[in-house]
Amino acid sequence: MHGLSVSVAGLRLTYGRRTILENVDLDIASGERVCIIGPNGAGKSSLLRCLTGLVPTEPGMVRIDGMPLAELGRDRLARSVAVVPGQVALPFSMRVEEVVALGRIPHEHRLSGPRLADHAAVDAAIERAGIGHLRGRDARELSLGERQLMLIAMALAQQGRLLVLDEPTVHLDLRHQVEVMQLLVALNEREGLTVIAVLHDLALAASMFPRIVLVADRTIVADGPAAAVLTADRIRDVYGVDPRYLPALLAPLL
């Protein structure tokens, strides 16, 4: 089992007359760990939405493992690409293992429901995310950090070979940030999953991801290792930060 590759060529996305993304080219090889960064409203989340099929794109603009997104079909896409949900509001009380089990929906039998293999995959995902102690807890009473680990477990139960996360560490305390990041690194390095995450914390991105993609002004402006992408000049230009604050902000990077 290898991680999936992703290739984006000449991607353009418009909502009405507003252009959200244009001229986006991005090749992510199997087993890479990539972080997408950029200012608010630059198009990071939209790029993720295109990659995961949430927003329809023109044929051939996005390919997963060489296959155009549209030809992949909903079912196969859901079995190949696991997206960790962003904000989640559960309408009913649910236990942690029940939420994780939702990840099996693309695999389970349409009519007869989950089988033994599905239950085993849920157990394995709970184990892998290290949340065995949360079994039986009401998912709505978890702390944000526990909740994030639960949602990652759900994505793991989905058994996709590409894991996509939109700001997985936002609002988390330091310990949970590290825990989530260590899990992502392990999944990527030991199990070969391709991992794509959007982050806002530049220091975290730089320390945990070998490849950084900087999105600004509707397109990709830099792509490569942190040292090459996160230069003081570029951060000042892209984020519009007063140069006086840069040394303090970038201390961990420089």
- Which residues contact another protein by CB under 8 A? 52-54, 74-75, 77-79, 81-83, 85-86, 88-95, 98-99, 102-103, 105-106, 108, 110-111, 113, 138, 140-141, 158
Nearer to another protein, 148 or 158 (CB): 158
Nearer to another protein, 64 or 82 (CB): 82
Q: Coil, strand or helix: which one is 38?
A: coil
Query: Smallest gap, in angstroms, from Cβ of residue 176 to another protein?
Result: 17
Nearer to another protein, 111 or 248 (CB): 111
170 vs 149: CA distance, rounded Å: 13
Nearer to another protein, 106 or 208 (CB): 106
Torsion of CA 155, 156, 158, 163, to 10 degrees: 60
Question: Do 81 and 164 contact (CB within 8 A), yes or no?
Answer: yes
| Max Cα–Cα distance, the chain, nearest Å | 62
126 vs 122: CA distance, rounded Å: 6
Nearer to another protein, 35 or 155 (CB): 155
68 vs 114: CA distance, rounded Å: 29
Sequence length of the chain is: 254
Query: Smallest gap, in angstroms, from Cβ of residue 53 to another protein?
Result: 7
Query: Smallest gap, in angstroms, from Cβ of residue 58 to another protein?
Result: 19
Query: Smallest gap, in angstroms, from Cβ of residue 43 to another protein?
Result: 17
